């Protein structure tokens, strides 16, 4: 059985997944989740092949963002429904007004893991884009530590990273802290543990700095999602202002924030922290937040970085999603340096829901609400209670197997006698 469907229209074709293989779920839960996902999956497939691309996504460049190869699978999937174009902020230094004007032509700005600080002029361009009703998806690392280098050296130092965006997000109503989230509900990593003959032995260990996040928010973006993998993520603090904030993803109850700078080593996989070691009332740390409302410019009561006749301190209602981990969008690649599917970990063989989550974010921000609201529908299947079946196994067999045969036999006998009586005359 191949749990896929193929939707074709003209020369356009797309695949529709029919089965959601959720990690840790029972067979009944997988069936119910798959049935609940079916309408959205087909609606999205029809939309992909029927609707022409209209809206445009700007992939922001110029501040050390992830290379296209590392977000290749996400871009390859998104371009089926939207136009995509790189947008560098380097031109801000020479002509910030024109850069600001050009960015307004895009419907969504994607900022994927910048590593270099934004200048005040670059920040003003992004700020004015939001104030004018633009949508943005931010994936940020506020702590400098990479898993690739850690695998090479075995240890490293996690230290704060300054992107010069603190005042921008503070104005919008959030603060991204420079701590690391440590979670008992963790994704595994694969490490070499020794030799057996000429073969290297590998084992998997839970890595506490890679939270396995289960979505439970009542929002169509995260409805019916499987586990999402984070890596060296940081907490998001919600502040009081007029912007509506919705926590989309958070850590487990058994998690805590660890201050930086801090040494990190692979031998930490031997740690087995007790739940009692976590602070009382801790856990459930926000990791991804949706912000909706009328944005106020960070330069509302300040001198702007550059003069712009079209500067606005308060503008149209806008939407943005901030994810406190830049690696959520990062895909691995094969030996030929081709992007693997986003969410697939080739070292452990596990598949996470990072891709589905990010695609939902894009659909929501670009107002494809008719499509994404289908995810809010709940389908309750009338499945048998396995415990009651075990208790009344013989009775259940009689009711489900013997009873229909008896009823059929009685009906057949009655029908035969009726025919004989009618035609005997």
pLDDT tens, residue by residue, 254-313: 899 999 999 999 999 888 777 777 776 667 899 999 999 999 999 998 999 999 999 999
Q: Is the domain of 391 the same as that of 348? A: no
Query: Which one of 315, 333, 355 terminates a domain?
Result: 355
What is the structure's pLDDT at 25? 62
* Residues 68, 112: Cα–Cα separation, whole Å: 10
Cβ burial 124-153 (10 Å sphere, 16+ → b, else e) = bbbbbbbbbebbbbbbbbbbbbebeebeee
pLDDT digits (tens, 9 = 90+) for 306-360: 999 999 999 889 999 999 999 999 999 988 889 999 999 998 989 999 999 999 9
Residue 147 Cα distances to 85, 154, 155, 198, 209, angstroms: 29, 10, 10, 27, 10
Q: Is 405 a residue whose pLDDT tops 70?
A: yes
What is the structure's pLDDT at 43? 82
What are the start-end ranges of the E strands in 91-184?
108-112, 135-139, 143-144, 155-160, 174-176, 179-183
Q: Is the domain of 342 the same as that of 402? A: no
| Domain-located, residue 360 | no
Q: Is the domain of 187 the same as that of 324? A: yes
Q: Are strands 135-139 and 286-296 parallel, antiparallel or unpaired?
A: unpaired
pTM: 0.82
| Domain-located, residue 333 | yes
* Residues 41, 92: Cα–Cα separation, whole Å: 41
Phi then psi for 259, rounded to 5 degrees?
-70, 155
Q: Give the CA dihedral 246, 252, 256, 262, nearest 10 degrees.
A: -100
Q: Is the domain of 108 the same as that of 216? A: yes
Q: Burial-class residue 5 by CB neighbours within 10 Å (0-12, 13-18, 19+).
A: middle
- Measured in whole angstroms, the distance separating CA 360 from the mean position of its chain's CA atoms is 8
Q: Give the CA dihedral 257, 174, 375, 73, nearest 10 degrees.
A: -70
Q: Is the domain of 393 the same as that of 351? A: no
Q: Is the domain of 343 the same as that of 416? A: no
Q: Is 227 a residue whose pLDDT tops 80?
A: yes
| Domain-located, residue 43 | no
pLDDT digits (tens, 9 = 90+) for 30-86: 777 677 778 877 887 887 787 777 899 999 999 999 999 999 999 999 998 899 999
| Domain-located, residue 371 | no
Q: Is the domain of 133 the same as that of 239? A: yes
Q: Is the domain of 172 the same as that of 217? A: yes
CATH number where 299 lies: 3.40.50
| Domain-located, residue 30 | no
| Domain-located, residue 33 | no
Query: Which one of 355, 375, 397 terminates a domain?
Result: 355
Q: Is the domain of 346 the same as that of 406? A: no
Q: How many domains does the chain have?
A: 2
* Residues 281, 137: Cα–Cα separation, whole Å: 30
DSSP-assigned beta bridge partners for residue 192 = 202
| Domain-located, residue 74 | yes
Q: Is the domain of 351 the same as that of 392? A: no
Structure tokens at 46: 């029809």
* Residues 406, 413: Cα–Cα separation, whole Å: 10
| Domain-located, residue 12 | no
Q: Within a 10 A sphere around the Cβ of 359, how many other Cβ atoms?
A: 18
Q: Is the domain of 275 the same as that of 397? A: no
Residue 69 Cα distances to 145, 337, 395, 415, angstroms: 20, 8, 60, 73
Domain containing residue 410: 386-423
Least confident range from 78-82, 215-219, 262-266, 367-371: namely 367-371
């Amino acid at each position: 059985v191949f749990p896929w469907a193929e939707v074709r229209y003209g020369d356009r074709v797309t695949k529709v997944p029919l089965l959601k293989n959720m990690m840790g779920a029972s067979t009944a839960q997988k069936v119910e989740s798959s049935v609940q996902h079916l309408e959205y999956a087909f609606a999205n497939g029809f939309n992909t092949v029927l609707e022409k691309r209209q809206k445009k996504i700007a992939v922001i460049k110029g501040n050390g963002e992830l290379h296209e190869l590392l977000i290749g699978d996400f871009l390859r999937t998104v371009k089926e429904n939207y136009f995509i174009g790189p947008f560098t902020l380097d031109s801000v230094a020479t002509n910030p007004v024109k850069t600001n004007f050009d960015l307004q032509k895009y419907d969504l700005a994607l900022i994927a893991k910048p590593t270099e600080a934004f200048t005040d002029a670059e920040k003003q361009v992004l700020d004015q884009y939001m104030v004018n009703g633009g949508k943005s998806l931010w994936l940020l690392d506020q702590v400098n530590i990479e898993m690739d280098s850690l695998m090479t050296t075995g240890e490293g130092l996690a230290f704060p990273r300054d992107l010069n965006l603190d005042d921008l997000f503070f104005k919008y109503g959030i603060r991204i802290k420079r701590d690391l989230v440590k979670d008992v509900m963790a994704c595994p990593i694969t490490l070499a543990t020794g030799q057996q003959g000429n073969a290297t032995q590998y084992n998997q260990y839970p890595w506490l700095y890679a939270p396995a996040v289960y979505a439970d928010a009542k929002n169509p973006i995260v409805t019916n999602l499987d586990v999402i993998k984070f890596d060296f993520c940081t907490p998001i603090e919600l502040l009081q202002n007029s912007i509506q904030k919705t926590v989309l993803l958070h850590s487990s109850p058994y998690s805590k924030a660890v201050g930086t700078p801090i040494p990190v080593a692979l031998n930490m996989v031997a740690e087995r922290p007790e739940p009692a070691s976590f602070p009382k009332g801790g856990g459930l740390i926000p990791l991804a937040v949706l912000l909706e409302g009328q944005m106020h410019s960070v330069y509302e009561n300040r001198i702007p970085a550059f003069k712009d006749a079209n500067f606005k301190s308060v503008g149209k209602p806008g939407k943005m999603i901030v994810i406190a981990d830049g690696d959520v969008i990062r895909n691995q690649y094969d030996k030929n340096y081709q992007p693997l599917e986003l969410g697939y970990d080739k070292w452990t063989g596990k598949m996470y829901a990072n891709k589905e989550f990010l695609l939902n974010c894009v659909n929501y921000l670009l107002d494809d609400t008719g499509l994404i609201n289908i995810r809010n529908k709940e389908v309750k299947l009338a499945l048998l209670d396995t415990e009651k079946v075990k208790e009344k196994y013989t009775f259940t067999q009689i009711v489900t197997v013997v009873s229909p045969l008896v009823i059929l036999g009685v009906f057949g006998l009655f029908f035969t006698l009726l025919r004989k009586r009618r035609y005997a005359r």
